[in-house]
């Protein structure tokens, strides 16, 4: 079973980078994607796709991860294309809508930015093991320890949330199959019945997940989990390639900021 954005073991420069660098680079890239002028956003996107090739991840894998979001991407494009004021290219007879050139352009830019954000996030999760990601988040949250924020507990909570997500989906599928096996056919039901069925599904799934969470908490206790500081399997150490990427990112950021100001 493949899960959207789940880590896939591999070997490449991007895989071997320190998770802190990858996380910082993704955040930096995301800010640029959203902030810079359309032309520069296009350049950032191309740089991102070069990073995908350098990572050794198949484009098909990225496509698979994007598949569940295609509907939203199409919706975003249509909303921008149809609701943007401008010279109409095609008049749509219903609802007084029209497809304009500026709308299409706007839709394309927004979708491009959105796609770039998604690809950056997918690339990060595909090339970074969850434990590495949690170690990086823990590292960046470390200053909050001075304010008595339970950083180690937050890291465990993130780990459990990641673990419980597939369990939640499996539980939902299990209940749906059990309902179907007893002749429950939602397709032939009306809206009220569907809402009722959805609510009953949610309550069954949630009670199952709470039961599992209880058992998981007990198992964690059995494996000596206590609140507070823990050590980690992941050793965070910067190598020469991390310093190289960091320098490259720094220089490109300065160039992009300068170019963005010039274009403005």
Where along the sequence are the contacts to another protein (CB under 8 A)? 1, 3, 6-7, 9, 129-131, 159-160, 162-163, 166-167, 212, 215-216, 218-226, 229-235
- How far apart, in whole angstroms, are the C-alpha atoms of residue 258 and residue 41? 14
CB distance 18 to 238 below 8 Å = yes
Residue 252 three-state SS: helix
| 166 vs 250, beta carbon nearer another protein | 166
**153, 227 in Cβ contact below 8 A?**
yes
Smaller CB separation from another protein, 148 or 226: 226
CB of 232 to another protein, least distance (A): 6
| Closer by beta carbon to another protein, 3 or else 196 | 3
How many whole angstroms separate alpha carbon 148 and alpha carbon 45? 39
Nearer to another protein, 187 or 223 (CB): 223
Identify the H or E element spanning 167: helix 151-181
Q: How far is the CB of 175 from another protein (least distance, A)?
A: 15
Q: Which is nearer to another protein, 106 or 125 (CB)?
A: 125
Q: How far is the CB of 30 from another protein (least distance, A)?
A: 23
Nearer to another protein, 200 or 229 (CB): 229
Provide the minimum distance between the beta carbon of 9 and another protein in the complex, in angstroms, as a whole number. 4
Least distance between another protein and beta carbon 228 (Å)? 9
Among 31, 40, 63, 41, residue whose Cα is nearest residue 110: 41
Q: Among positive and negative, which fits the CA dihedral 113, 252, 35, 17?
A: positive
Q: CA–CA separation, 242 vs 18, rounded Å?
A: 6
Q: How far is CA 146 from CA 32, 38, 73, 139, 226, in A?
A: 31, 41, 42, 13, 20
Closest contact distance (angstroms) between CB of 156 and another protein is 8
């Amino acid at each position: 079973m493949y899960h959207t954005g789940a880590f896939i073991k591999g070997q490449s420069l991007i895989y071997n980078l320190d998770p802190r660098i990858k996380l910082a680079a993704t955040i930096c890239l995301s800010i640029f994607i959203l902030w810079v002028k359309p032309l520069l956003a296009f350049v950032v996107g191309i740089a991102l796709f070069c990073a995908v090739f350098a990572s050794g991840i198949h484009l098909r894998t990225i496509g698979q991860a994007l598949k569940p979001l295609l509907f939203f991407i199409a919706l975003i494009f249509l909303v921008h294309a149809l609701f943007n004021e401008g010279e109409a290219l095609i008049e749509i007879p219903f609802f007084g809508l029209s497809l304009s050139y500026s709308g299409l352009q706007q839709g394309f830019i927004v979708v491009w930015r959105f796609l770039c954000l998604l690809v950056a996030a997918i690339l990060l999760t595909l090339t970074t093991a969850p434990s590495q990601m949690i170690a990086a988040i823990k590292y960046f949250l470390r200053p909050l320890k001075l304010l008595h924020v339970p950083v180690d507990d937050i890291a465990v909570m993130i780990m459990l949330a990641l673990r419980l997500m597939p369990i939640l989906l499996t539980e939902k599928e299990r209940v749906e199959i059990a309902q179907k096996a007893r002749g429950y056919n939602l397709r032939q039901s009306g809206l009220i019945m569907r809402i009722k069925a959805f609510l009953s599904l949610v309550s069954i799934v949630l009670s199952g997940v709470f039961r599992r969470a209880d058992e998981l908490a007990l198992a964690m206790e059995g494996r000596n989990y206590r609140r507070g500081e823990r050590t980690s399997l992941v050793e965070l150490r910067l190598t020469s390639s991390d310093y190289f990427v960091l320098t490259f990112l720094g220089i490109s950021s300065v160039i992009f900021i300068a170019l963005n100001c010039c274009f403005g």
